[in-house]
Chain A
Amino acid sequence: MKRAADDPNVAAPSLDVKRLREDFPVLQRSVRGRPLVYLDSAATTQKPRAVIDAVARHYAEENANIHRGVHLLSELATTAYESAREKVRALLNAADVREIVFVRGTTEAINLVASSYGRGRVGSGDEVLITAMEHHSNIVPWQMLCEEMGARLRVAPIDDRGALDLEAFERLVGPRTKLVAVTHVSNALGTVNPVREIVAMSHARGVPVLLDGAQAVAHQTVDVQALGCDFYAFSGHKLFGPTGIGVLYGRAELLEAMPPWQGGGDMIASVTFEKTTYNVLPYKFEAGTPHIAGVIGLGAAIDYVQSVGLDRIAAWEDSLLAHGTALLEALPGVRLVGTAPDKAAVLSFVLDGVHAHDVGTILDQDGIAIRTGHHCAQPVMDRFGIPATARASLAFYNTLEELEALAAGLRKVAEVFA
């Protein structure tokens, strides 16, 4: 996510976007008689045929419950499910497959940590440290925990560009800080946080770190061992996979020490009415029949994204960001919200005299899908003193032509409101 792409002399990275777009059935459709221009990938990414087929194939050919049947289908489903776990491990470069817990999504992963880790470690007068750019899902679980335990939620500030004030952050990591929870990439602003420094500063004071990777995994290589984080959470549906499936990575040592979160089947080793012995990692945290098809679909999504190449994706998205930024900055009345030096391909903006909601409706008439509103980050909107932004968020399947279409659409918005 560096800015090599700002230099027009650097050749466009070798990504055959036109061909790759053919892998996505929905990108072939039209909306209101115009080709779909999908610029809402931070909300959810589109799904390649490989993912759709993997989910359908599971149901059509090998549907069975996992980890218990002696029959062939159960064996096939179990193998597919567990091989997807290994794919997640490899994607994140986790040390051990036991560190990969399947959950419903990023939100559930964070709630799991808040509940299982937080309740045991965060006490009265203690502190949990987040930043001012968090998504509600990385605010509310901590608020609930702090309220329950009598702890205090601290918030590290951001500057006018939407970059984290790292010095202020460091000062806030104190003797009462029990956990740091920070987004890797901001969904509302696109800011890429200096997560290695954040981890180093926190670890220097013995504080573990959770990273919200929802907006990161589809756009760059993530190596949890290199980052050194203690927990990492992401959602499958923002990585070209199905909805309803996500991942919590946790360092084995921490997960081992944490109590189970939900009780039920599959998370136990043995049950009597007197005593239950819990299962080993990661099953201790996977009570009940999981979203088997979702996990298999996520595995297919990881295969797909690896075949495209995350480094090439990051480079292409950098050129898209540079091009989109230049186009929007050239439009009268447009102000970008979120201009941090290290940024992902998210273009959040306001248009003078026009509410984001109206921008979204008018663009939709031309088949251009963007998100408008507070992006589940109301404190970010408050920080910038605005009720809402319009947000174009990109993925590797987007093209320069689509950004031109966005700019043309915005000129039309200005015309309607002239």
Chain B
Amino acid sequence: MSDLRELYQATILDHYKKPRNFGPLAEATTHVEGHNPLCGDRVTLHVLFDGDVVRDVRFEGSGCAISTASASMMTEAVKGRQRAEVERLFERFRDLIAGPEGSEADSDELGKLAVFSGVREYPTRVKCATLVWHALHSALGDATTVSTE
């Protein structure tokens, strides 16, 4: 059970049961769909850019606890931030979960997102946690659909 609590931390379960920033966003300037073919999960991300700033971001879709909580916490973490900051956060988050050994140590700037560190021990769940981040990453570029494959 203790191992499981490493993965299913209270914060993660809370965001799974009560996802923040969930729903459509009429004023969004970019919509990106993310798809995990492994489990069929889909997430749609709506982003409102104001120049280089992520003014607002919301998401829709159904997924597991890890992917839903990741989406929910990501929206909170990036709202109001500059593109460059968001890109950096994306890289830090990726390192936290799936980066080379040791790279996860440098995770101070992730703040609350560090609760996902447990995912590292579950290789089959890495894609659940990173799907929405990949969607965001492509929203920062131009692509409109992403897949974890």
Which residue of the partner chain, among A356, A361, A388, contacts B124 with CB atoms under 8 Å? A361
* Highest count of chain B CB atoms <10 Å: which of A353, A358, A387: A358
In the bound complex, do residue B4 and residue A416 qualify as a contact, i.e. CB atoms below 8 Å apart?
yes
In the bound complex, do residue B122 and residue A417 qualify as a contact, i.e. CB atoms below 8 Å apart?
no
Given the known A-B contacts A355-B63, A355-B65, A416-B4, are A361 and B122 also in contact in the complex, defined by CB atoms under 8 Å? Answer: yes
Stretch in B38-46, B50-58, B105-113, B136-144 with 4+ CB within 8 Å of A: B38-46
For window 252-296 of A, CB contacts with B under 8 Å fall at none
CB distance from A40 to the nearest CB of B (A): 13
B135 at the binding interface (Cβ < 8 Å): no
Inter-chain contacts of A356 with B (CB < 8 A): 39, 64
A372 to B64, CA, bound (A): 11
A355 to B67, CA, bound (A): 10
Which residue of the partner chain, among B40, B42, B125, contacts A373 with CB atoms under 8 Å? B40
Inter-chain contacts of A357 with B (CB < 8 A): 39, 41, 63-64, 66, 125, 128
Which residue of the partner chain, among A353, A388, A417, contacts B39 with CB atoms under 8 Å? A388
Inter-chain contacts of B22 with A (CB < 8 A): none
Which residue of the partner chain, among B1, B3, B17, B65, contacts A358 with CB atoms under 8 Å? B65
In the bound complex, do residue B4 and residue A362 qualify as a contact, i.e. CB atoms below 8 Å apart?
yes
Inter-chain contacts of A374 with B (CB < 8 A): 39-40
A374 to B38, CA, bound (A): 9
CB distance from A308 to the nearest CB of B (A): 33
B71 at the binding interface (Cβ < 8 Å): no
A361 to B122, CA, bound (A): 8
1/0 per residue, CB under 8 A from A, across B109-141: the answer is: 000000000000010110010000000000000
Inter-chain contacts of A373 with B (CB < 8 A): 38-40
A329 to B105, CA, bound (A): 45
1/0 per residue, CB under 8 A from A, across B58-73: the answer is: 0000111110100000
Question: How many of B's residues come within 8 Å of A, CB to CB?
Answer: 23
Which residue of the partner chain, among B5, B42, B64, contacts A355 with CB atoms under 8 Å? B64
Given the known A-B contacts A387-B41, A388-B40, are A365 and B13 also in contact in the complex, defined by CB atoms under 8 Å? Answer: no
Inter-chain contacts of A417 with B (CB < 8 A): 8, 13, 65
Using C-beta atoms within 8 Å of the partner chain, give the interface range for chain A. Answer: 10 to 19
A106 to B115, CA, bound (A): 43
B74 at the binding interface (Cβ < 8 Å): no
B7 at the binding interface (Cβ < 8 Å): yes
A32 to B108, CA, bound (A): 31
1/0 per residue, CB under 8 A from B, across A342-383: the answer is: 000000000001111110011001000000111000100100
Inter-chain contacts of B38 with A (CB < 8 A): 373
A412 at the binding interface (Cβ < 8 Å): yes
In the bound complex, do residue B40 and residue A381 qualify as a contact, i.e. CB atoms below 8 Å apart?
yes
Residue of chain B at shortest CB distance from A372? B39
In the bound complex, do residue B39 and residue A361 qualify as a contact, i.e. CB atoms below 8 Å apart?
no
Which residue of the partner chain, among B1, B13, B125, contacts A412 with CB atoms under 8 Å? B1
Inter-chain contacts of A381 with B (CB < 8 A): 40
A22 to B17, CA, bound (A): 44
CB distance from A406 to the nearest CB of B (A): 17
* Highest count of chain A CB atoms <10 Å: which of B40, B41, B62, B66: B40
In the bound complex, do residue B65 and residue A354 qualify as a contact, i.e. CB atoms below 8 Å apart?
yes
Residue of chain A at shortest CB distance from B125? A361
CB distance from A348 to the nearest CB of B (A): 14
CB distance from B114 to the nearest CB of A (A): 20
CB distance from A106 to the nearest CB of B (A): 20
In the complex, 16 of the A-B residue pairs with CB atoms within 8 angstroms, ordered by the A residue number, are: A354-B65, A355-B63, A355-B65, A357-B39, A357-B41, A357-B64, A357-B128, A361-B124, A362-B8, A365-B3, A378-B40, A387-B40, A387-B41, A387-B62, A416-B5, A417-B13
With A372-B39, A378-B40 known, 6 other A-B pairs at CB within 8 A are A353-B17, A355-B62, A361-B7, A362-B8, A374-B39, A388-B39
Q: Pick the 3 closest A-B CB pairs, nearest first.
A: A355-B64, A357-B64, A374-B40
